[in-house]
Amino acid sequence: MRGTKDIDPLSLAMRPPADETSAERVEREAREREAKIISAEIDAEIEMDRKQKKYDDSVKVLLLGQSESGKSTTLKQFQLIFSAKEFENERISWKLIIQLNLVRTVRIILEQLSSLTTTRPIPFEDNKLSRTIHPLSHLNSSGMNGSTSSLGISSQSSGRSSDSDLPSTSASITPSRSSHPMSFNSPVSPVQRSPTTPFSIPFPPPVLPVSPTEMPKLGDHHRTLRMRLLPLVHLESSLLRRLNPSEEDEATQRSAHWSTSGRELFVRSSVNWKEKVARLRNGTFDVRDSFADVDDDDGFVDFDNPDDPNNVIQTCKEDMLALWHDPVVRQVLRMGNVRLEEMPGFFLDDIERIASPSYIPSDDDILKARLKTVGVSEYEYTLMMSGQPTKWRFYDVGGSRTQRAAWQPYFTHVDALIFLAPISAFDQCLAEDWRVNRLEDSLLLFKSICKSELLKDVDIILFLNKIDILKAKLDSGIKVSKYVKSYGERPNEYEAVSKFFRNKFAAVYREYTPKSSKKLFYVHMTKVTATDAMRGILSSVCDAILRSNLQLQGLA
Ligand SMILES: Nc1nc2c(ncn2[C@@H]2O[C@H](COP(=O)(O)OP(=O)(O)OP(=O)(O)O)[C@@H](O)[C@H]2O)c(=O)[nH]1
Ligand SMILES: [Mg+2]
């Protein structure tokens, strides 16, 4: 026991009076709480100020766009093309992410198979983005008629997407649906979400009506495969917990509603995930110890440990291949309209390579890997531009709806922004809200960015991204006019479709950019995963930003 004389005099002075009444205590505690909040706000302001001052001499670029639009992938390309050594140093860190991407896809298949053996719909959140939306079948199945606004947007396909999650403090960047530039067919019917019955959330129905006799039959070997692949599912949840222990972000909250294995791998801006991955690689893996804190892993590589991801994946290799090539499994996926190949982080066609003990991720693997961003990550690179070293600072934001409130503080001190809109997503819905068409969300988001007074003089580079997926969809016969009413009778071909989308975004820019704006606007059709094509695009983007910067400073 410490005596009174050992107590710090400051703590003594801060102690509540001995005769404090309970009413006084409540009042004091409320005062202290408020003071704490104010103090945290001041700290945040000081930190932001510090960052602005510190990086004033660098060219600052903000990457914006909805989740999965390709922001972090664009950043990887910048690093690969202009800062190759750093990219090389981080190569090995991506191995675990790629392994986790692979395992996630296997888990999705297993969950789909479960749907055949259980009466309740599977908690299958992960593939929402790769499921198409089926306006007609859904309207039929629900009996809900999606009324269409005067602009052709159904009431379910709400623009709330952007209304609700853009920074609420700035009216100028809050999008409004009242003058929508494109008209979309109703994507899906409103779903009845009940917090107490999470499994009652319906999924988009299969393409064809399925009678019980048409249901694919699972045999004993499917059940055996499932059992044999369970270590992968355990490995995934164990590693996710270790990489993001006690996270309370949306992914975790959703997982509580869905299933522990439903979490998507994400990186929080404040966490150096590469360091964490390195520690996991150097520590021992023990699935049974999955709740242990990462900090406890100070051991060495245990090559004999059966819980090591390399070992688990290698052991399950043949079963993964058997599952992926099984005709019944393919039929189940088709019926559920699950297009795994279009999902980010799809590595099932690379099992042999990834399961090899000597596997090192290739450049393409790293660009394909999916790691969701939460918060705002900052990266500083010295890029060699026309033989001159130039300091660049990139801000890579999380694009999902709950993340967008964090964008606004960065609007006031960037030189340019790259906005990514995945135009392949015309037939998809947001992971965050099934009622919202992803392309519609992108357009509304872009509109709010154009309108923003804070971004009035910030150059905008628009990447209409994922053109490879767009081409594949058109080639497979998916009709744009089925999802975008205003597309009408135009040819369902890449040239016509891409021109149509490009014109729509350009029209939004022209209509909503403040008249007094001095900003420049460039549009590129991109597949940001393609390094050769991006080399030229990123060079010209950097040149344009630099030129514009010099002009602004009166140096050009
Ligand atoms: N096929 C194809 N895939 C792409 C393209 N651009 C990005 N991807 C993939 O799409 C996935 C999502 O890309 P990210 O860069 O992580 O998306 P993001 O915008 O950073 O998403 P958040 O962090 O959630 O905001 C990754 O797996 C990428 O490899 C593209 O042009 N074509
Ligand atoms: Mg990201």
Kindly identify the ligand whose nearest atom is closest to the C-alpha of 67: 1
- Can you tell me the mean pLDDT for 263-291? 58
Residue 330 one-letter amino acid: R
**Which ligand 1 atom is the nearest neighbour of the CA of 374?**
23
* Alpha-carbon span 91 to 275, nearest angstrom: 12
Closest CA to 104 of 127, 70, 131: 127
ipTM over 0.90 threshold: yes
* Alpha-carbon span 260 to 531, nearest angstrom: 36
Q: What is the residue with the minimal CA distance to atom 32 of ligand 1? A: 466
Determine phi and psi for 514, rounding to 5 degrees: -55, 140
- pTM of the model as a whole: 0.74
Per-residue confidence band for 110, with pLDDT thresholds at 50, 70 and 90 = very high
Most confident listed range (145-159, 432-446, 467-481): 467-481
Q: 335 lies in a domain? A: yes
From the CB of residue 357, how many other CB atoms can be counted at a distance below 10 Å? 9
Last residue of a domain, one of 337, 360, 383: 360
Residues 232 and 327 in one domain: yes
Best substitution site from 529, 534, 537 to test ligand 1's pocket, by max atoms within 8 Å of Cβ?
529
Residues 244 and 125 in one domain: yes
Kindly identify the ligand whose nearest atom is closest to the C-alpha of 68: 1
What's the 340 CA to ligand 1 centre distance in angstroms? 15
Q: 141 lies in a domain? A: no
What's the 140 CA to ligand 1 centre distance in angstroms? 33
Instruction: Find the length of the chain.
Output: 556
Do residues 435 and 135 touch, judged by C-beta distance below 8 A? no
- Can you tell me the mean pLDDT for 54-75? 89
Question: Rounded to the nearest 5 degrees, what angle is found at the Cα of 166, between the Cα atoms of 165 and 172?
Answer: 145
Do residues 397 and 407 touch, judged by C-beta distance below 8 A? yes
Residues 383 and 288 in one domain: no
pLDDT confidence of residue 297 = 38
Residues 310 and 165 in one domain: no
Residues 379 and 394 in one domain: yes
Q: What's the domain count of the chain?
A: 2
- Can you tell me the mean pLDDT for 195-205? 28
Residues 350 and 231 in one domain: yes
Question: Rounded to the nearest 5 degrees, what angle is found at the Cα of 60, between the Cα atoms of 56 and 65?
Answer: 150
Residue 307 one-letter amino acid: D
Residue 55 has pLDDT above 70, yes or no: no
Strand order in the sheet with 59-64: 376-385, 388-397, 59-64, 416-422, 459-465, 521-525
Considering the chain, what percentage of its residues have pLDDT values greater than 70? Answer: 66
| Matching residue, tokens 């006690």 | 246
Closest CA to 264 of 171, 126, 362: 126
- Can you tell me the mean pLDDT for 160-188? 42
What's the 69 CA to ligand 2 centre distance in angstroms? 8
* Alpha-carbon span 143 to 139, nearest angstrom: 6
Residues 381 and 426 in one domain: yes
Q: 38 lies in a domain? A: no
Mean pLDDT of the residues in the chain: 75
What's the 71 CA to ligand 2 centre distance in angstroms? 5
Q: 119 lies in a domain? A: yes
Higher pLDDT, 135 or 95: 95
* Alpha-carbon span 155 to 545, nearest angstrom: 40
Residues 427 and 495 in one domain: yes
pLDDT confidence of residue 7 = 57
Residues 407 and 547 in one domain: yes
Q: Which residues pair with 420 in a beta bridge?
A: 463
* Alpha-carbon span 316 to 352, nearest angstrom: 11
- Could you read off the pLDDT of 222-256 as tens digits, one per residue? 999 999 999 999 888 888 877 776 554 444 444 33
Pocket residues: Cβ below 6 A from ligand 1: 65, 67-73, 344-345, 367-368, 370, 372-373, 398-400, 465-466, 468-469, 527-529
What's the 345 CA to ligand 2 centre distance in angstroms? 13
Residues 114 and 84 in one domain: no
Last residue of a domain, one of 360, 394, 422: 360
pLDDT confidence of residue 416 = 95
| Poorest-pLDDT segment among 45-49, 230-234, 300-304, 507-511 | 300-304
- Could you read off the pLDDT of 332-344 as tens digits, one per residue? 998 888 889 888 9
What's the 473 CA to ligand 1 centre distance in angstroms? 17
Q: What is the residue with the minimal CA distance to atom 6 of ligand 1? A: 70
Best substitution site from 62, 73, 77, 423 to test ligand 1's pocket, by max atoms within 8 Å of Cβ?
73
Q: 114 lies in a domain? A: yes
Question: Rounded to the nearest 5 degrees, what angle is found at the Cα of 336, between the Cα atoms of 332 and 339?
Answer: 95
Q: 142 lies in a domain? A: no
Q: Which two tokens stand for residue 540?
A: 């010209």
Do residues 285 and 305 touch, judged by C-beta distance below 8 A? yes
Higher pLDDT, 141 or 106: 106
Last residue of a domain, one of 360, 390, 409: 360
From the CB of residue 434, how many other CB atoms can be counted at a distance below 10 Å? 23
Is 370 flagged in the annotation as binding? yes
Residues 282 and 309 in one domain: yes
Task: Kindly give the residue spans of alpha helices, DSSP state H, lying in 83-143.
Answer: 84-90, 93-117, 135-142
**Which ligand 1 atom is the nearest neighbour of the CA of 75?**
15
Is 148 flagged in the annotation as binding? no
Residues 351 and 437 in one domain: no
Q: 322 lies in a domain? A: yes
Range of the domain at 341: 94-135+212-360
Residue 192 has pLDDT above 70, yes or no: no
Q: What is the residue with the minimal CA distance to atom 11 of ligand 1? A: 344
Residue 513 has pLDDT above 70, yes or no: yes
Q: 327 lies in a domain? A: yes
Residue 12 has pLDDT above 70, yes or no: no
What's the 241 CA to ligand 2 centre distance in angstroms? 20
Kindly identify the ligand whose nearest atom is closest to the C-alpha of 370: 1
Kindly identify the ligand whose nearest atom is closest to the C-alpha of 264: 1
Supply the CATH number for residue 399's domain. Answer: 3.40.50.300
DSSP for residue 428: -
